[in-house]
Structure 1
Amino acid sequence: MSDQGSVKSEYDVIVIGGGPAGASTAGLLAQRGHRVLVLEREQFPRYHIGESLITGCVGVLDELGLRERLDALGFVKKFGGSLVWGRDGRWGFKFTEGEPEFPHAYNVRRADFDALVLGRARELGAHVREEAAVKGPIVEDGRVVGVRYKLRGGEETEARATMVVDASGQARLLGRHLTTVEWTEDLRNVAVWAYFQGGEPLTGDESGNIFIEHVPGGWFWYIPIYDGTHSVGYVTSAAEATGAGQGLPELFQAKIAETAHLKDMLANAVQTSGHRNARDWSYACGRLSGPGWVLVGDAAAFVDPLFSTGVTLAMLAAAAAAKGIDVVLKDPSRETDVFERYEASYRDFLENIVSFVRFFYDAGLNQEAYHQYAQALIDPGKLFFPRKDFVTLISGLNSLQPIFDPEPGGSVPAAT
């Protein structure tokens, strides 16, 4: 479905991108009664990587009214993580150790998940145009007031709005015009992955977990998706990949042979896809908002995939942006204040995750060291045990604190 209803040229909000960040932002704003246009470059459903969710996004799924639908689609429930990392060998954690309210997240087929969230935005009243390529912002007197876009096979046209949200992912369609990008130099990684059927599943308390195994030079993920299919990926530094002297598929196979556990789990599996690859280069834009515009999800920043933060960070940012935009549409005089708060809290969250990823990449430590570092980041007053702080951080649940509220000291009331 590439069009919906009568699409006008004047809106309260234009959202560029229909992935989890854009669809969540659009749905939550439409739910609050605002006129929203979503411009999505592709036709859904479409393939995407990033299949392992963490519990930090479950509250947003609830707000959108989607949790029962996720259960009905049969996505694998993920109750925690299992790791082969550090000096302690194989170990794991449960999400309930961080916050019992959210006992599980999901491993999802992203084509189905993303289509579900975008469809929900439509149901809530957002106008969605797929196969709509945004060409650039319309800027008047230093303020973004709309975008130029072109439907497939059509003519370039304009749409205008009070606020424009860039949720275009790593394309950064607004960010490229309006700000800079700052790369995290020590996290320039490459991922290569494929799909397998018939691999040995995790069982018992580990059933549904993502399995992560460190090997010299990088690490693997092993994610149960559906019907005995696992997503299997290898992440290494760009320098390691370049210096390996072989292609990424060959490197992938060679590194599987170096694993202690994964090679046995895949011993009877059949590879059912070709290899895909992507540059997992962590970055953050120099500014996350400005007059008339705001960035969410990968359009704002990308964090190393080690802790599966991508979709959760996108949806948390979407929820925060939607709250902030709702305030600004009702009281335009608050725009600067609200989005300064948004930007500061977003960066705090990013800095915590990036700092912890850097620390965790030292695979020569024990569990307690990782736990204590997590506590130092999010609980310096040591109100909880270090292990709880560790699970809270890697679940994305530290966002349940006021870190993502548009105003200091409390949340913004819902629209009436």
Structure 2
Amino acid sequence: MSPTLIGVTDDFDVIVIGGGPAGATTAALLAKRGHRVLVLDRERFPRYHVGESLIPGVMVPMEELGLKERMEAKGFERKYGGTLVWGNNEVPWNFSFTTGGRIPYAFHTRRADLDALILDRARELGAFVVEDATVKEPIEENGRVVGVRYALRGLNGTHEARARLVVDASGQARVLGRKYSEVNWNEQLRNVAVWTYFDNCHRLPGDEWSNILIEGTRDGWFWGIPIDKGVFSVGYVTRSDLASASDESLEDLFEASIANTTKLKDILKDATQAAGYRSARDWSYTNERFHGNGWVLVGDAAAFVDPLFSTGVALATLAASTLSKVVDQILQHPQIEEKALDRYTNAYQDFFHDIRKFVEGFYDRSKTKGFYFNMAQDMIDPDKKDDAEVDFVKLISGLSGRQGGLFELNLDDLIEDTPEQSAAEH
């Protein structure tokens, strides 16, 4: 790669593949710590992405990035909780994030705006961002990933960049994950989603005004997310095998299933569809490996779970926050790389396991609200120190004790065991 092509040297401390929330957060926090970071994204921002509803856990890395006030200034809709038509008698019930503790709200957003906000912050903090850049392959030397080759849209040839560590935050593209790791699909959550947007929607009443709506139907469930000014994101999720066996298209299944709702049907009774349909399928998975020699995964590139509780962005950015701290220490103490990334992997997988296990259990709609509360308590608070409803809200907020531990990894003992630390002490 010619240095004059992008105006900087081709050597970095870290290369991040992907500029979405996971990649941009990792890059921003590493740049904030003084490291030279290159972000390569195959698209140009702002770009469309589904996943408009956030949970309070995401506010922890957003505060680290100094973005909370900017999110408020953007006019994102505050999200204080959720309304569910779910369980054995399908009576609507609510939860409030205030029940779960220290962060009482998150936001509903337009993801194009949110993702651009985080990536712009990475630039401000010193990360070098190249858009329209498609990573073609990793560069390997002596069994270690030492950089990547990438192509720029509209230009011939490929270019090289090298770094001490390469982070794959490429989402479901899994640029490095596909090469270095098998993926385990979650058979219980092999689902398909179809979604669109509506204008002129009604709102839920009273304190439910900005709640996300989650409404179960016979063969699936709907989300309803108030974006702004009467606009709702509405999606339908059903099992992939049911969709494949049906004679109806996904769009027809969506429209037919709305007729079987209660709350959602009222929200949409005077609405007009404002966009075409989009769809995605079979998205719940975990990579067998989260890191290797010179590379590490974060965000959807590492794992993704069904969107029932809108955990995607929070999981990605919390993991990115942790990874930035871990990588910062690795760059200062290279000898701890493998053990440090092992700890990151174990914490990440524990975090992910709790969410996946709960979603799997919650999909059983033959149970009562109290059953779901108790299930959350058994997972995160077996000593029953809090009320079961409090534990439920903590879990789905991304703020439970075990999950909170993800971004508090302590590597001091590894650093103390390194040769250079021992020498310095003597």
Category of TM-score, reference length = shorter chain: over 0.9
Return closer, same or farther for 1:409/1:304 CA change in 2, 3 Å cut-off: farther
Letter in 1 for 2:13: D
**Offset at 1:302?**
0.8
Tell me the SS of whatever aligns to 1:397. coil
Relative to the length of structure 1, the TM-score reads 0.95
Structure showing greater radius of gyration is 2
Tell me the SS of whatever aligns to 2:237. strand
Letter in 2 for 1:336: E
Aligned residue for 2:295? 293
The farther-off stretch of 391-400 and 325-334 is 391-400
Aligned residue for 2:398? 396
Runs of 5+ consecutive residues of structure 1 not aligned to the other structure: none
Aligned residue for 1:307? 309
Instruction: Tell me how far apart the structure 2 counterparts of residues 361 and 265 of structure 1 sit (CA, whole Å).
Output: 24
**Offset at 1:404?**
3.3
Asked whether the 8 Å contact 1:346–1:404 carries over to 2, the reply is no
1:146-204 deviations in Å (ceiling 9; x for gaps): 11111112220110001100000000000011111111111110000110011111232
Stretches (4+) displaced over 6 A: none
Aligned residue for 1:185? 187
- Asked if residue 206 in structure 1 is aligned to residue 208 in structure 2, the reply is yes
Identity in percent: 56
Tell me the SS of whatever aligns to 2:188. strand
1:240-276 deviations in Å (ceiling 9; x for gaps): 1112211011110000001122112211111111111
Aligned residue for 2:85? 84
Match for residue 359 of structure 2 among 339, 342, 357: 357
Asked whether the 8 Å contact 2:204–2:211 carries over to 1, the reply is yes
- Asked if residue 67 in structure 1 is aligned to residue 60 in structure 2, the reply is no
Asked whether the 8 Å contact 1:214–1:220 carries over to 2, the reply is yes
Q: How many residues align?
A: 408
Asked whether the 8 Å contact 1:339–1:406 carries over to 2, the reply is no
Instruction: Tell me how far apart the structure 2 counterparts of residues 163 and 196 of structure 1 sit (CA, whole Å).
Output: 43
**Offset at 1:408?**
6.7
Tell me the SS of whatever aligns to 1:148. strand
Instruction: Tell me how far apart the structure 1 counterparts of residues 373 and 228 of structure 2 sit (CA, whole Å).
Output: 32
Asked whether the 8 Å contact 1:338–1:406 carries over to 2, the reply is no
Instruction: Tell me how far apart the structure 2 counterparts of residues 7 and 25 of structure 1 sit (CA, whole Å).
Output: 20
Match for residue 275 of structure 1 among 265, 274, 277: 277
Runs of 5+ consecutive residues of structure 2 not aligned to the other structure: 416-426
**Offset at 1:7?**
2.8
Return closer, same or farther for 1:146/1:408 CA change in 2, 3 Å cut-off: closer
Tell me the SS of whatever aligns to 2:190. strand
Aligned residue runs from structure 1 range 85-104, under 5 A? 85-87=86-88, 89-99=91-101, 101-104=102-105
**Offset at 1:407?**
2.5
Aligned residue for 1:6? 7
Aligned residue for 1:134? 135
Instruction: Tell me how far apart the structure 1 counterparts of residues 83 and 5 of structure 2 sit (CA, whole Å).
Output: 43
Relative to the length of structure 2, the TM-score reads 0.93
Instruction: Tell me how far apart the structure 1 counterparts of residues 372 and 208 of structure 2 sit (CA, whole Å).
Output: 20
Aligned residue for 1:25? 26
**Offset at 1:336?**
1.4
**Offset at 1:405?**
3.0
The farther-off stretch of 12-21 and 389-398 is 389-398
Asked whether the 8 Å contact 1:134–1:148 carries over to 2, the reply is yes
Asked whether the 8 Å contact 1:4–1:127 carries over to 2, the reply is no
1:204-240 deviations in Å (ceiling 9; x for gaps): 2112110010001100000000121000000001011
Asked whether the 8 Å contact 1:192–1:276 carries over to 2, the reply is yes
- Asked if residue 381 in structure 1 is aligned to residue 383 in structure 2, the reply is yes
**Aligned Cα root-mean-square deviation (Å):** 1.6
